[in-house]
Amino acid sequence: MKKYGVILLTFIFALVLTIMPMPDWFKYLRPDWLLMVMLYWAMALPERMGIFFAFCCGIVLDVTLSSYLGQHALAFIVCIFFMGKLYQGIRVLPELQQSITLLFFFIAYKVMLLWQYGMTKQAPESILYFFLSAFTSAVLWPWLFILLREIRRKFIHTVA
């Protein structure tokens, strides 16, 4: 149970970072912290990080950001599903190639959100700015990867 605690703590930290007040110039650049943390755990411990958990995280994020329930949840579960298929190939890549690969996940996430925002008549006026955060997420990925890897090695001892 203690092992799960550490994972949960990283999620709470990601959620805090998602809504933490930032300077104005940073507001379009804010990385999708929750998605990044989730993709890491889905890659490192795929048998722990399932679709149900991704769904719950998505619902929490929907409540936090006051979007319609299920919007972020759907985008999350699709990302986690594909990570569940591809983790074996991705986790052996060096950090730089990993972030390029994950950029596709981040963009796919944004595309799914854009589609849903369009369906509910909330389409953002600038598509370019909308996708900026996918690129910041990819740029920050190596650091997050190293940090979470250290956390995993220190606290979670599995053979997986």
Partner 1 sequence: MQGLFKNTAGQFLRLAVFASVSILLTYIDYRDDTLRGFRSALGTAIVEPTKFIATLPYNIIQSARGISTSRETLQANLDNLGVRNQRLQTELLTLEGLKAENTRLRELLNSSEKTGTESTVAEIITIDLDPFKQLITLNKGSSDNVVAGQAIVDAYGVMGQIIHTTNNTATTLLVSDPAHSLPVQVQRNGFRTLANGTGHADELNLMHIPSNADIKVGDIIITSGLGGIFPKNYPVGTVKDIQSEVGRPFLKVIAASTAQLNRSREVLILKSVNKDNEKQTNGTNQENQKP
The secondary structure of residue 29, as a DSSP letter, is: T
Please report whether residue 25 would count as binding partner 1 according to CB under 8 A: no
Contact 119, 67 (CB under 8 A): no
Region 83-122 residues binding partner 1, contact defined as CB under 8 A: 84-85, 116-117, 119-122
Task: Give the amino acid at 154.
Answer: K
* CA 10 to each of CA 37, 112, 156: distance values in angstroms, whole numbers, following the listed order: 7, 24, 13
Please report whether residue 81 would count as binding partner 1 according to CB under 8 A: yes
Q: How many Å apart are CA 51 and CA 24, to the nearest integer?
A: 34
Please report whether residue 50 would count as binding partner 1 according to CB under 8 A: yes
- Contacting residues for 125 by C-beta, under 8 A, at least 6 apart: none
Closest approach of Cβ 127 to partner 1, in Å? 10
Of 51 and 142, nearer to partner 1 (C-beta) is 51
Please report whether residue 16 would count as binding partner 1 according to CB under 8 A: yes
Binding residues for partner 1, total number by CB under 8 A: 46
Please report whether residue 124 would count as binding partner 1 according to CB under 8 A: yes
